[in-house]
Structure 1
Amino acid sequence: MGARSKARKRAVDVLYEAEAREVDPVTLISERVGSTEVAPVNDYTITLVEGVRDNAARIDQLISEHAEGWNLNRMPAVDRAILRIGLYELLWAADVPDAVAIDEAVELAKTLSTDDSPRFVNGVLGRIAGIAGHLRASLNT
């Protein structure tokens, strides 16, 4: 597993834990940076967590709009975290190709969630990727 894949997994863990504990994910990760009690935090993990937190309203709106038949609150919490990271990478991480963002999210879903989650994650992110160019343009205006 590559360094960025590990960073994504760690970001899912942080987002999941922050939601469960009802704490700010950036605060949670900042407590972990430099701690000797947990594994070192990769810079890309910090980038992902900060990016998801900073764009949370828009990310959740887009997930809700494109998760056909699913309410955001009904989704498994780990799927929400995976989708949030995947969508952040799709729209805000210019150095991550769309296909890589989707593939990495699907792999996380295979490893961390239900049997149906990879297909669900792929479908939601695939629909958004289809309009990503338009969305990126609107984010920059």
Structure 2
Amino acid sequence: MSRSPGDAIGSRREARETALGLLYAAHTRGVDPLEVLAEQPIPPEPYTVQLVEGVAGNIHELDDLIDNYSEGWSTGRMPAIDLALIRMAVYELAHQHDVPTSAVLSEVVELVGEYSTEKSGRFVNGVVARIAEELRPGS
């Protein structure tokens, strides 16, 4: 089956949703995200794998950034779904230079709207936007 150029956007969205689920599952189970990734009966899309491996491999760097920009909230106090969303977005901002900042911000807003609360949406968007300003000034 052939894909049209517009499918790449949809597939990245699906990859992010799958990665979010895997990162959330790992956090709530208290296991390494790579363990949850390895348990999948059908291998996820390559971008899903890249996101999960990237977050797992850079988790201390990501959490340090998040703690510095989350104004009064440590990563240990954040709801698991919000933390998974923020980690994934910050990983993309810090390490996926081919992904536009606007795409990262747009996706995190959409995903938090689907999977978390309205109050969390403002918080998550604020943290990710502040980190984006630091990591990608002027974009």
TM over 0.5: yes
Moved over 4 A (4+): none
Gaps of at least 5 residues in structure 2 are 1-8
Aligned equivalent of 2:18: 10
Give the aligned CA root-mean-square deviation in angstroms. 1.5
Instruction: Read off the aligned partner of 2:35 and give its amino acid letter.
Output: T
Alignment of 1:46-61 (within 5 A): 46-61=49-64
Counterpart secondary structure, 1:96: coil
- 1:77-102 per-residue CA deviation (whole Å, 9 max, x = no partner) reads 10000000000001100110111111
Instruction: Read off the aligned partner of 1:75 and give its amino acid letter.
Output: M
Alignment of 1:21-36 (within 5 A): 21-32=29-40, 35=41
Number of residue-to-residue matches in the alignment: 129
Aligned equivalent of 2:3: none
Per the TM alignment, residue 20 of structure 1 is displaced from its structure 2 partner at its CA by 1.1
Alignment of 1:98-113 (within 5 A): 98-113=101-116
Q: How far apart in 2 are the matches of 1:72 and 1:18? A: 15
Q: How far apart in 2 are the matches of 1:116 and 1:76? A: 12
Say whether 1:62 aligns with 2:70.
no
Instruction: Read off the aligned partner of 1:64 and give its amino acid letter.
Output: D
Alignment of 1:120-131 (within 5 A): 120-131=123-134
- 1:29-58 per-residue CA deviation (whole Å, 9 max, x = no partner) reads 1221xx25xxx5111110000000010001
Indicate conservation of the 8 Å contact 2:93/2:136, yes or no: no
Q: How far apart in 1 are the matches of 2:36 and 2:132? A: 30
Percent of pairs identical after alignment? 44
Per the TM alignment, residue 131 of structure 1 is displaced from its structure 2 partner at its CA by 1.2
TM-score in terms of structure 1 length: 0.86
- 1:98-131 per-residue CA deviation (whole Å, 9 max, x = no partner) reads 1111111111100000111221111111111111
Instruction: Read off the aligned partner of 1:20 and give its amino acid letter.
Output: T
Of 95, 103, 119 in structure 2, the residue corresponding to residue 92 of structure 1 is 95
